[in-house]
Amino acid sequence: MQFFVLARHRTESFSQEQFEPLLGPEAARVRELYGDGVIRSAYSRQDVPGAILLVEAADLDEVDDILATLPLAERGMLEFTIIHVRGYRGFADG
């Protein structure tokens, strides 16, 4: 199954100075998950600080477990909106 994850930095609770040292490790973890095929694509958000991830997982619990491994998430610095998606029916045969 695939899930879109909208991640937002919790800037109302944490300063940019608190985010800064974790951004490198965060990017490294996302690259690792991408290399493992867990994250299918990743985008930086232009509306707010954060990212949009396309995650491959068996279910919502697995998505939660995956996201919990992100350095910013481990520290409670991210807010997530998770959307379960499926292939667009307009592309299906018949």
Q: Domain boundaries in the chain?
A: 2-87
Percent of the chain scoring above 90 in pLDDT? 90
Q: Note the pLDDT of residue 93.
A: 65
- Residue 66, pLDDT > 70, answer yes
**Confidence band (pLDDT; 50, 70, 90) for 92?**
confident
Q: What are phi and psi of 57, to 5 degrees?
A: -155, 160
Question: Within 13 Å, how many C-alpha atoms sit on residue 93's CB side?
Answer: 0
Q: Domain spanning 2-87 has what CATH number?
A: 3.30.70.1060
Q: Note the pLDDT of residue 91.
A: 85
Question: 83 near 13, Cβ under 8 Å?
Answer: no
